[in-house]
Amino acid sequence: MTTTFFLVRHAAHDRVGTILCGRMPGVHLGAFGKDQAERLAVRFASETIACIRTSPLERAVETAEPIALKLRQSLDICGAISEIDFGTWSGRSFEALAQDPGWSAWNKSRSTSRPPEGETMLEAQTRIVGAMEQLRRRHSDQSVILVSHSDVIKAALLYYLGLSIDAYGRFDIDPASISTLVVGDWGSKVLRLNEMVGA
């Protein structure tokens, strides 16, 4: 009995790579991101999907909506796959964060550091893996789409790969990418990592 998880990072918005958006409201997909979301929907049209869950943040919901529409499925909002709570770092530019010793510590050792007033990556890992394990019991021999965020998807993949959270820098999870993971009682296997859907 296996469950296939398609872990989708939300599509691009205009602040990707310049601002640490975290959970700040009002971050919407740009024109390019909307196009990526449509392409994801076409990519999934040939799959049989049992359920689609999305992070509650706008950029994730706007990525998941065209997929749900194409597959004629409902969309479930799931707080357990939301972005890491970056506390007071939320909304700061990466340029400003580069001056903050706490930011260097965060990037050097995720296992031992916490964003100010925020959540650790291990706490985020616990919530996404908890949600996936619940889905696994409900959807054996079925496929599920989860639309989430870069570090949260990384945390899930690191858990199922049996790697430390400090290995987060060993692979990329790009906007609008799909990483495919199968999980069963026998263990788990990553089938594809950071798959990009062509134009």
Ligand X SMILES: O=C(O)[C@H](O)COP(=O)(O)O
* 81 CB-near residues (< 8 Å, 6+ apart): 53, 54, 55, 127, 128, 131, 146, 147, 148, 149, 152
- Smallest distance from the beta carbon of 169 to ligand X, in angstroms? 13
- Smallest distance from the beta carbon of 157 to ligand X, in angstroms? 13
Query: Residue 85 corresponds to which tokens in the numbers above?
Result: 């709570």
Tell me which of 8, 16, 61, 147 binds ligand X, using CB under 6 A.
16
Report the Cα–Cα distance between both ends of the chain, in Å, rounded: 34
Asked whether position 20 contacts ligand X by CB under 6 A, the answer is: yes
**By the 8 A CB rule, do 167 and 83 touch?**
no
Asked whether position 150 contacts ligand X by CB under 6 A, the answer is: yes
List, in sequence order, every residue forming a beta bridge with 190; answer none if it has no partner: 181
Q: Which stretch binds ligand X (CB under 6 A): 17-25, 65-73, 161-169, 189-197?
A: 17-25
Cβ-count burial of 67 within 10 angstroms (0-12 exposed, 13-18 middle, 19+ buried)?
Answer: buried
Asked whether position 149 contacts ligand X by CB under 6 A, the answer is: yes
Of residues 89-148, which lie at the interface with ligand X (CB under 6 A)? none
Tell me which of 8, 21, 41, 158 binds ligand X, using CB under 6 A.
21
Binding region for ligand X (CB under 6 A): 9, 16, 20-22, 83, 149-150
